[in-house]
């Protein structure tokens, strides 16, 4: 496929996304209906679709409309590639007189929901605009080196043997940023043997900050796919339990744990295994720190949904607190940039529960290299 034909394909996918279909599903359906498209074509169309979603607001202004065509035309104009719209062969038709577009204003260029800008600005201070601009770009690809199976030097060498280039990232000792052939990762021997796992550098840094010691009984309460579960298991010999409100999210965790050489007990009733020395709550949140990876989340979030999320976070904190022994730790984590979900949520918890003290807080943004994350380490007296 030519670049112009890929642009036309991205337009078709984006029209479905704007109509309410999830981007991943729309891309999958397009791929099945266009089996002539090779892996390189599918990857290029995917990149265009997600770039357009990251820059949805400014691209629509540049392209003259909130349509798939408008978004891709806006991206093309920003990149100096309006020649894609030639109308020749499989290329999109030339722009019409009603598609002139205009330059985005200062707010539109941030590519954020307008209702959320004041709160993000208040939460981030001087970092607000640099963070907003970072969220418009693709996220780096990171892997975590499984310290139970090797160190960073061994992992770099193992990946290089399969033409995958990676280099150490300064945020945390286990992080490698993949700089070449990232799409080969999940079929590589380094990945299949458990030497490396896909995990954002900031997510790794959060786990590295936990006070984990051999022999501790630890609960990962909102485990999801288990990335942080396995990262904790690699740092100390733990009695490790994983729970998620939707148990099916953990379906692959036993296989991943076996590959990593660790043991994890899945539980649908963590209260039965109490008390814990440490409980990690990786709470459901706005995901604002990871909008580079999930740009749809940026536009799906509403004031009502954010209110629901903060209520859920408070309820989870209240549920987990009694499961922790005296002298034990509650580790509250979000991938949010909003104070409402972070420091203010912990302040509310302390107001509701006596005998707890915040020993450490860690705030990371995309300016640190990885996703935006927040961690509060709270000690029970």
- pLDDT score of 35: 86
Q: Which residues pair with 379 in a beta bridge?
A: 329, 357
Range of the domain at 302: 208-380
Rounded CA separation 112/104 (Å)? 12
In a domain, 131, yes or no: no
Provide the pLDDT for residue 1: 93
- Residue 162: the pLDDT is 96
Instruction: Establish whether 285 is a catalytic residue.
Output: no
Please tell me the predicted confidence (pLDDT) of residue 115: 98
Instruction: Check whether residue 236 and residue 330 sit in a common domain.
Output: yes
In angstroms, how far is CA 229 from the centroid of its own chain? 16
Please indicate, yes or no, whether residues 217 and 148 belong to a single structural domain of this protein.
Answer: no
pLDDT of residue 24: 96
pLDDT at position 173 over 90: yes
pLDDT band at 25 (very low <50, low <70, confident <90, very high): very high
130 found inside a domain: no
Q: Is there a single domain that holds both residue 280 and residue 324?
A: yes
DSSP secondary-structure letter at 64?
A: T
Same domain for 343 and 234? yes
Mean pLDDT of 123-127: 98
My answer on whether 163 and 249 are in the same domain is no
Residues 155 and 274 in one domain: no
Is there a contact between 333 and 284 (Cβ–Cβ < 8 Å)? no
Q: Is 231 in contact with 204 (CB distance < 8 Å)? A: yes
Instruction: Report the candidate in 285, 361, 349, 287 with the shortest Cα–Cα distance to residue 320.
Output: 349
Residue 181 clears pLDDT 90, i.e. is over it:
yes
Residue 217: is its pLDDT beyond 90? Answer: yes
The pLDDT of residue 371 is: 98
pLDDT band per the 50, 70, 90 thresholds, residue 36: confident
Q: Is 216's pLDDT higher than 90?
A: yes
How does DSSP classify residue 155? H
Is the pLDDT at 140 greater than 90? The verdict is yes
SS3 250: helix
212 and 192 part of one domain: no
Q: Is the confidence at residue 26, as pLDDT, over 90?
A: yes
List the catalytic residue out of 5, 207, 335, 377.
335
* Same domain, residue pair 353 and 213: yes
Within this chain, do residues 225 and 259 fall inside the same structural domain, yes or no? Answer: yes
One domain, residues 214 and 288: yes
**Mean pLDDT of all residues in the chain?**
96
Does one domain contain both 60 and 180? no
The total number of structural domains that make up the chain:
3
Per-residue pLDDT tens over the stretch 105-122: 999 999 999 999 999 999
Report yes or no on 373 lying in a domain: yes
Residue 365's domain is classified under what CATH number? Answer: 3.40.50.150
Confidence class for position 212, pLDDT limits 50, 70, 90: very high
**pLDDT above 70 as % of the chain:** 100
Residue 265 has pLDDT above 90, yes or no: yes
**Quick one: 189 and 315 in the same domain?**
no
Alpha helices (H) in 194-294, listed in sequence order: 201-208, 227-235, 253-260
pLDDT tens per residue across span 359-371: 999 999 999 999 9
pLDDT in tens, 321-359: 999 999 999 999 999 999 999 999 999 999 999 999 999
């Amino acid at each position: 496929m030519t670049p112009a034909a890929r642009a036309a394909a991205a337009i078709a996918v984006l029209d479905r996304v704007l109509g309410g279909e999830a981007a991943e599903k729309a891309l999958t359906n397009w791929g099945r209906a266009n089996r002539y498209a090779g892996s390189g074509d599918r990857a290029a169309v995917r990149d265009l679709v997600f770039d357009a979603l990251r820059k949805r607001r400014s691209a629509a202004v540049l392209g003259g409309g909130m349509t798939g065509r408008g978004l891709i035309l806006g991206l093309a104009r920003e990149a100096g590639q309006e020649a894609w719209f030639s109308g020749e062969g499989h290329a999109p038709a030339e722009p019409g007189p009603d598609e002139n577009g205009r330059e985005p204003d200062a707010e539109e260029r941030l590519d954020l929901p307008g209702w959320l800008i004041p709160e993000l600005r208040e939460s981030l201070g001087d970092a607000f605009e640099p963070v907003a601009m970072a969220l418009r770009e693709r996220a780096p690809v990171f892997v975590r080196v499984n310290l139970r199976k090797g160190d960073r030097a061994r992992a770099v060498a193992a990946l290089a043997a399969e033409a995958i280039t990676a280099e150490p990232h300064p945020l945390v000792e286990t992080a490698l940023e993949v700089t070449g052939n990232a799409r080969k990762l999940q079929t590589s021997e380094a990945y299949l043997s458990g030497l490396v796992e896909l995990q954002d550098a900031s997510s790794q840094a959060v786990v590295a900050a936990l006070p984990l010691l051999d022999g501790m009984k630890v609960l990962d309460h909102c485990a999801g796919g288990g990335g942080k579960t396995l990262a904790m298991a690699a740092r100390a010999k733990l009695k490790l339990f994983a729970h998620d409100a939707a148990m099916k999210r953990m379906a692959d965790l036993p296989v991943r744990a076996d590959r990593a050489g660790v043991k994890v007990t899945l539980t649908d009733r963590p209260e039965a295994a109490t008390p814990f020395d440490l409980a990690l709550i990786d709470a459901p949140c706005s995901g604002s720190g990871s909008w580079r990876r999930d740009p749809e989340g940026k536009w799906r979030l509403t004031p009502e949904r954010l209110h629901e999320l903060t209520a859920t976070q408070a309820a989870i904190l209240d549920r987990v607190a009694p499961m922790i022994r005296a002298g034990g730790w509650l580790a509250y984590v979000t991938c949010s940039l909003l104070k409402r979900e972070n420091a203010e949520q912990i302040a509310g918890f302390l107001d509701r529960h006596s005998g707890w003290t915040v020993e450490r807080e860690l705030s990371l943004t995309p300016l640190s290299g990885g996703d935006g994350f927040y961690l509060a380490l709270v000690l029970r007296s």
